[in-house]
Amino acid sequence: MEEYMAPSERYLYEFIKKSGEVMTSNLPPRMMGALPQLVKKGLVEIYKKPTALWSTKKKKFVRAKVL
């Protein structure tokens, strides 16, 4: 599946895989456009989780799926 990725998708996927778990707001701004394609291909997943125990707000995180 990885051989059909555009260069920006490959760069973002490697960045996410190397970082493990990343907040979506901490992704490189020029690479944000490749994120929907990676989700569509099933290589990464976006999920929400609280960052503080006393806060009701949840932040979005992204991580590479284990294939």
Tens-digit pLDDT string for the chain (67 aa): 556 889 999 999 999 999 999 999 999 888 899 999 999 999 999 999 998 888 889 999 999 998 7
The residue length of the chain stands at: 67
Q: How far is the C-alpha of 27 from the C-alpha of 11, rounded, in Å?
A: 11
Fold type of domain 2-64? Arc Repressor Mutant, subunit A (1.10.10)
pTM of the model: 0.83
* Helices marked H in 1-67: 7-19, 35-41
